[in-house]
Structure 1
Amino acid sequence: MERKRANRPVLAVTMGDPAGVGPEICAKVLFRREIHEKASPVFYGSPRVLAEAADLLGIKVKAEGNCLVSEGVRIPVVATDEGLDLTVTPGLLTREGAVAMMEAVKRAVVDAREGRVKGVVTCPINKEGIRLAGLDYPGHTEFIRDLTGAERVVMMLAGEKLKVALVTIHLSLREAIERVTKEAVAETVRVVHRDFVEKFGIEKPRVAVAGLNPHAGEGGLFGSEEREIIAPAIEEVRGEGISASGPYPPDTVFYRAYRGEFDVVVAQYHDQG
């Protein structure tokens, strides 16, 4: 039994915005015994906030050292509210809460880089809170990029039957359209292809690329980006041996991927994906 426990992956779970839904999500999930049959979660955030969220849900917890315990389920805690006068009012963003929120992400990512945890699960953060904490990032993705020293990152939304990667992410729609370049599309496809081979074990992933405009431009009637930018990017990566195709009309490509025709869809901007 101890060997089985030791073999479970240790996962960092960050609190998210303490005044948001994150602590409630953590309390609902982390104290479920079946979760601990598959993984060993560690909570990063305010232990008091987690305990209060658990209490609201009728989950009785007590502190034992650096753990919170409920009915024999022990959750190790990495406290990120030390030295902060953190008072939580649901829905009310505060500087102290924002600092604790982002410190949780930072410490979790550092622990992942240094091998103390196998992965990081992040609860929802308040984008405005990032700035309030003194950081100049539009979201999780860019913050984690700099913490890890990655040159290029791609956001992907993944479900059992549908996986969608994004060329552009946290930008206004006007700026996102301007950032859809041949180079950006091609590099996104390359990153997606590489990770599907290395991390998903798919030898030749089928990458579908969505168009930018309605009906993928309808032959240029609704925009020229498909013909001038996206199609040349697809042709370039196909020359490198990548199984990419498109551009496909965004209103149908996701359903086709869901049915199993493609392994992943590359969407052009945040809300398209």
Structure 2
Amino acid sequence: MSELQKPIIGISIGDFNGIGPEVILKAVGGNRLNKICTPVIYGSGKVINRYRQILELKDWQFFTIQKIEQLNHKQVNVINCMNDQNLEVNPGAITPEAGKLAFESLKRAVEDLKSGKITALVTAPINKHNIQSDVFKFPGHTEFLADTFGTKDVLMFMVSNDLKIGVVTGHLPLEQVKQNINKELITKKLEQIKTSLKRDFGIQKPRIAVLGLNPHAGENGLLGNEEEEIIKPAITEFKKKGNIVFGPFPADGFFGTAAWKNYDAVLAMYHDQGLMPFKMIAFENGVNFTAGLPKVRTSPDHGTAYDIAGKNQADESSMLNAIYTAIDIAKNRQELSDLEANSMKKKTIVLKEASMED
């Protein structure tokens, strides 16, 4: 693969006192990814160098730059996103400085993503509290990216090779879940899953399972009416459009009997209903993908893990898979775009020939 063909993968540093820098360096250290992509870490050369020392990666070098146009395709690049002279790495501590750099690195990375200077973005975990400011007032990455790109309809899509789970409601308190679930929203999320499976993962006729909201999927109204009044009508309507969809299934039995293996994706009603089984089944290789954005964004499926930060105990598997998934989705989207362009070109030629014959 030539340098011009290699995708440029931006990686935001997240909270540098968490395990973000460690899993990033373990993933890219030794230039292990440079054959298939050009990694660009948005953060701080000082912070990266400190973790390089902590992890004893003394023989590995990175290339420090100030802007994306200066990148070196043969090395891992680090963009300094703010003056880092006063930054102090303190693994496990929650500090304002770590929150500020987390935001600055994310902002710079998203700017380059929007302008097409990087192919995809992989975000390391943030602390949802110390990143808050007058310009960042969001529950997490997903909501910030949706707002930045002006895209209302995005889907938190947890993906691995074997299991893919989307959620109807994301970062909401449990007491607000019921009032936010409606037929239109479920239908919208089903459409987003179907579109993403086809566009991003190359699955042309996806099979989708839908979970119920209540215990035992409502037990025919005995334990709640949402299944009968909201979820089943949404499934029926979606199925009438020619889609392959089943449910609602009781969540406990669905995962307990491994029924999820029969489907390409699952739609859960709320955050923990989907993410809890996903992390139990695919924690080491799971990836958080924001479906519905015009650009590709993935992230590892874990948090900052302050308790093991700086101890060389963090597993980089999820970060690696987030990078691989971003590369694959970008490639799938480009191939689909090329096919559609070629198809339009052929149709135009046929129409021109037909008009000439007339």
Number of the residue aligned with 2:348: none
1:173-219: CA deviation from partner (whole Å, max 9, x where unpaired): 11123212112111100111112122222222111111111221121
8 Å CA contact 1:207, 1:244 repeated in 2:
yes
Question: How many angstroms apart in 2 are the aligned matches of 1:27 and 1:34?
Answer: 10
Number of the residue aligned with 2:319: none
Amino acid at match of 1:13: I
8 Å CA contact 1:98, 1:133 repeated in 2:
no
Over 3 Å counting, the alpha-carbon distance change for 1:15 and 1:239 in structure 2 is same
Matches within 5 A, 1:10-49: 10-49=8-47
Question: How many angstroms apart in 1 are the aligned matches of 2:104 and 2:250?
Answer: 41
8 Å CA contact 2:62, 2:77 repeated in 1:
no
Q: Secondary structure of 2:78's partner?
A: strand
1:116-147: CA deviation from partner (whole Å, max 9, x where unpaired): 11111111110112325752100110001111
Question: How many angstroms apart in 2 are the aligned matches of 1:173 and 1:131?
Answer: 22
Number of the residue aligned with 2:121: 120
1:47-106: CA deviation from partner (whole Å, max 9, x where unpaired): 211111111010125565529xxxxx7221121222773223222222222121012122
- Note if 1:66 corresponds to 2:65: yes
Question: How many angstroms apart in 1 are the aligned matches of 2:30 and 2:266?
Answer: 34
Over 3 Å counting, the alpha-carbon distance change for 1:64 and 1:120 in structure 2 is closer
- Greater relative CO (CA pairs within 8 A, separation 6+): 2
Number of the residue aligned with 1:174: 175
Number of the residue aligned with 2:346: none
- Note if 1:9 corresponds to 2:7: yes
Question: How many angstroms apart in 1 are the aligned matches of 2:203 and 2:26?
Answer: 34
Amino acid at match of 2:65: N
Q: Which moved more, 1:14-23 or 1:104-113?
A: 104-113
Q: Which moved more, 1:86-95 or 1:137-146?
A: 86-95
Amino acid at match of 1:53: Y
Matches within 5 A, 1:77-116: 77-82=78-83, 85-116=86-117
Question: How many angstroms apart in 2 are the aligned matches of 1:54 and 1:64?
Answer: 13
Matches within 5 A, 1:228-247: 228-247=229-248
Q: Secondary structure of 1:246's partner?
A: strand
8 Å CA contact 2:235, 2:247 repeated in 1:
yes
Question: How many angstroms apart in 1 are the aligned matches of 2:263 and 2:62?
Answer: 48
Q: Secondary structure of 1:50's partner?
A: helix
Structure 1: which 5+ runs fail to align?
68-72
Question: How many angstroms apart in 1 are the aligned matches of 2:241 and 2:197?
Answer: 16
8 Å CA contact 2:251, 2:273 repeated in 1:
yes
TM-score using structure 2 length: 0.69
Give aligned pairs, total.
264
Question: How many angstroms apart in 1 are the aligned matches of 2:79 and 2:28?
Answer: 14
Question: How many angstroms apart in 2 are the aligned matches of 1:74 and 1:91?
Answer: 29
Question: How many angstroms apart in 1 are the aligned matches of 2:151 and 2:218?
Answer: 33
Over 3 Å counting, the alpha-carbon distance change for 1:83 and 1:36 in structure 2 is closer
Question: How many angstroms apart in 1 are the aligned matches of 2:62 and 2:203?
Answer: 44
Over 3 Å counting, the alpha-carbon distance change for 1:170 and 1:65 in structure 2 is closer
Question: How many angstroms apart in 2 are the aligned matches of 1:54 and 1:133?
Answer: 33
Amino acid at match of 2:173: S
Amino acid at match of 1:247: P
Q: Which moved more, 1:35-44 or 1:118-127?
A: 35-44
Number of the residue aligned with 1:70: none
Structure 2: which 5+ runs fail to align?
67-73, 275-358
8 Å CA contact 1:102, 1:133 repeated in 2:
no
Q: Which moved more, 1:147-156 or 1:194-203?
A: 194-203
TM-score using structure 1 length: 0.90
8 Å CA contact 2:197, 2:203 repeated in 1:
yes
